Amino acid sequence: MPPQSWVTLIVGGLATVGVVVTWQQKNRADRRSEWWRRTTWAFERTFDQSNSQAGLGWSLLATLMRSKLVTVDDGSIVQVIAEYAALAAAGKEDSHGSRRQA
């Protein structure tokens, strides 16, 4: 096989690898974008006035957090929001004079 053929083969192989890597990165970015869209929707349900909608939101967040697409930062963000919601709920119970005992 002449050297020109080897060069063509190597360049073609590298181009193929580049296309595959680019496709994987785009695919992962698209999937993460969709994950965030769903997570945003679940957060909106979580803070709904309806208890059934809020329950649905928390259930969806629990499911979304099990995804392979979740990063450490994503988990931390959801944790902070969950803590905020729990403290807000505890504050509501206090202000209405129900449930809270020291």
Alpha-carbon distance 101 to 96, whole Å? Answer: 13
Of the listed ranges 20-29, 32-41, 80-89, the least confidently predicted one is: 80-89
- Residue 95 confidence (pLDDT): 55
Q: Look at residue 102 and tell me if it is in a domain.
A: no
Mean predicted confidence (pLDDT) in 24-33: 94
Q: Look at residue 11 and tell me if it is in a domain.
A: yes
- Residue 102 confidence (pLDDT): 42
Q: Look at residue 101 and tell me if it is in a domain.
A: no
Residue 99 is encoded by which pair of tokens?
A: 């449930």
What is the CB neighbour count within 10 angstroms for residue 64?
A: 19
Q: Look at residue 100 and tell me if it is in a domain.
A: no
Q: Look at residue 83 and tell me if it is in a domain.
A: yes
| The model scores a pTM over 0.85 | no
Distances in whole angstroms, Cα of residue 7 to Cα of each of 3, 18, 27? 6, 16, 30
Q: Look at residue 68 and tell me if it is in a domain.
A: yes
- Residue 85 confidence (pLDDT): 83
Using an 8 Å Cβ cutoff, are 55 and 30 in contact? no
Range of the domain at 40: 3-95
Alpha helices in the chain (DSSP H): 3-46, 51-64, 72-95
Per the structure, the count of domains in the chain is 1
Q: Look at residue 7 and tell me if it is in a domain.
A: yes
Q: What is the pLDDT of residues 52-78, one digit of tens each?
A: 998 999 999 999 999 999 999 999 998
Range picked from 22-26, 49-53, 97-101 for highest mean pLDDT: 22-26
